[in-house]
Amino acid sequence: MHKTGIRTPRTFDYFGMVLVTSGRGWFEDARTPRMEVGAGDVFFLFPGVRHSYGPHPGGCWDEIFLVFSGDIPRAWQRAGWLPERPPVVSLGDAAPWARKMEAVLGPRVPWDAASCCEEISRLQTLLSGLLAFRGAGRRRRDTGRRWAEEVGGLLEKQLDRAPDLDTLAARMGMGYEAFRKRFARVFGAPPARHLIRLRINRCCDLLAHPAASNRGVAEATGFCDEYYFSRCFKRVVGMTPSEFRRQIWRPGRETGGTE
């Protein structure tokens, strides 16, 4: 269905399932602050829970929805099979899920016990697929976070020496090229560049000590010599280590005075 207006708040006495197939907008209910939703997002409406949703002002979206009620859906809710907190699931590509929702209704047949059971079975199959998709997404996010934390901890231990990224990749059970690509996706930069940034951050801390020398800082952070360290530092920070030190220890700074 094509929607162009903003929905006013309302409350249903049945369940609803709304899939946005194109466009963007918002959703909120009495238990959920306003959320941005768009194509590929599905949200659930619960009996007795006031809700509102729609495209942004001046915009439009397309949606497909199902409504259902009865003791069986309420049993699903009690079992935790219907997403409630929040009631929104991001599915990615909307097209296959739209086809699955349309297939729930099936052909128009006389309303009898057999056809009712078949329709409920198709709806339950749809919900189980959605829950499996959501669970897989959570596992991927949790695994990615644990991977990033482990790699970050190992890198922190290598800041005082030249990094051995091949060994690090092997320790994570990966070839170097696969490790490099995943690292860049997670950290936003290739391993070597990210490690340089970490080491320069450590250098900034060391340069804050009045007695620190470029040579001593370079040796403490794994740079081969002070000249290479100085070039890397200027490329990342925008000034040389000496200029950075003067910024920190300018007159009056070390005694708490003012310029």
Place of tokens 């198709």: 122
Residue 48 has a pLDDT of 94
Q: In this model, does residue 79 exceed pLDDT 80?
A: no
1 versus 108: the higher-pLDDT residue is 108
The residues, ordered by sequence, that sit 6+ positions from 92 with a Cβ below 8 Å of its Cβ are: 40
Residue 163 lies in a domain: no
pTM over 0.85, yes/no: no
Q: Which of 26-30, 141-145, 171-175, 189-193 has the highest mean pLDDT?
A: 26-30
What is the CATH classification number for the domain harbouring 117?
A: 2.60.120.280
Render pLDDT for 164-177 as a digit per residue (tens, 0 to 9).
Answer: 888 888 888 888 88
Can you tell me the mean pLDDT for 72-85? 84
Residue 245's domain comprises 172-259
Q: What percent of the chain has pLDDT over 70?
A: 84
Residue 57 has a pLDDT of 73
Sequence-separated contacts (24+) of 113-122 with Cβ below 8 Å: 120/72
Q: In this model, does residue 17 exceed pLDDT 90?
A: yes
Are β-strands 24-29 and 32-38 bridged in parallel, bridged antiparallel, or unpaired? antiparallel
Can you tell me the mean pLDDT for 199-211? 81
Residue 259 has a pLDDT of 31
Q: How far apart are CA 118 and CA 107, in angstroms?
A: 11
Can you tell me the mean pLDDT for 205-226? 83
Whether 216 and 258 share a structural domain: yes
Residue 153 lies in a domain: no
| Structural domains of the chain, count | 2
Residue 159 lies in a domain: no
Residue 93 lies in a domain: yes
Q: In this model, does residue 39 exceed pLDDT 70?
A: yes
Q: How far apart are CA 205 and CA 192, in angstroms?
A: 20
Render pLDDT for 106-163 as a digit per residue (tens, 0 to 9).
Answer: 666 666 777 777 888 888 888 888 877 776 655 555 556 678 878 888 887 777 776 7
Whether 123 and 15 share a structural domain: yes
Which of 57, 46, 54 shows the shortest CA–CA distance to 86?
46
Residue 221 has a pLDDT of 81
Whether 7 and 115 share a structural domain: yes
Whether 120 and 176 share a structural domain: no
Whether 109 and 49 share a structural domain: yes
Residue 204 has a pLDDT of 82
Q: Residues 189, 148: contact at Cβ < 8 Å?
A: no
Q: How far apart are CA 44 and CA 91, in angstroms?
A: 13
